[in-house]
Amino acid sequence: MAESPIYTAEQFLEARLELPDAGRWTELVQGKIVTLDPPDIEHGTIVLNLSKVLSLYLHQVDQGYACFELGLLVNRGPDTVRFPPAAIFNSGNRFEETDKVISERKPTVIVEIASTHQRRQLMSDHVNDYVQWGVDLIWVIDPPKQEVLEYVAGSESQVIDINGKMTGGTVLPGFAMKLKDLFAEPVWW
């Protein structure tokens, strides 16, 4: 059986258009294309709820911006490209990464959602990549447990339960979101 080819991030970007759903649910892991399970409805609800609160916060502080499903080139040789649901940038020109498909710029905050069994299994690899890359704050949202695992650079990780809230600490000063609001079904639902 032939070995699957090793792709660079640039080759992956071209090849993914030929994949089912134009490669929307794929990542590049050490040069190999990995297909992920599509996210579920709860995943979409969480992104919607978080994006509303993030948008208000980012407008109030008038700095930084969020990108959704932006490919992040977290490692070269062999290349690894992750597509977290949200990445927040607090440096560089505002909205600089917004129109890109893949970026090599490191965001300040990454939000992941462990919404399917496969995504839950792969989450430690994602978090390890982000930690090694030097991301300041990582939130891993766990819908089945209704909790968030928070990783802050230079600190111990902590679990926030449904009665708690996500705060930005020194990374996103003044940001706060109750987990009950994060997991709430939209009113129009």
How far apart (Å, rounded) are the C-alpha atoms in residues 135 and 107? 7
- What tokens were used for 129? 């990549």
How far apart (Å, rounded) are the C-alpha atoms in residues 74 and 79? 8
* pLDDT score recorded for residue 63: 81
pLDDT at 189 over 70: no
Q: Which residue has the higher pLDDT, 95 or 27?
A: 27
pLDDT digits (tens, 9 = 90+) for 80-114: 999 999 999 987 777 777 788 899 999 999 999 99
pLDDT digits (tens, 9 = 90+) for 108-136: 999 999 988 888 898 999 999 999 999 99
How far apart (Å, rounded) are the C-alpha atoms in residues 29 and 82? 8
pTM for the predicted model, two decimal places: 0.91
CATH superfamily of the 39-183 domain: tt1808, chain A (3.90.1570.10)
pLDDT at 149 over 90: yes
How far apart (Å, rounded) are the C-alpha atoms in residues 35 and 87? 21
How far apart (Å, rounded) are the C-alpha atoms in residues 33 and 56? 36
Span 146-163, average pLDDT: 94
Strand-pairing partners, residue 148, are 141, 160
pLDDT at 1 over 70: no
In the chain, where the domains are located: 39-183
Radius of gyration of the chain (CA): 16
- What tokens were used for 110? 């990454």
When the pLDDT of each residue in the chain is averaged and rounded to a whole number, the result is: 91
CB 82 within 8 A of CB 129: yes
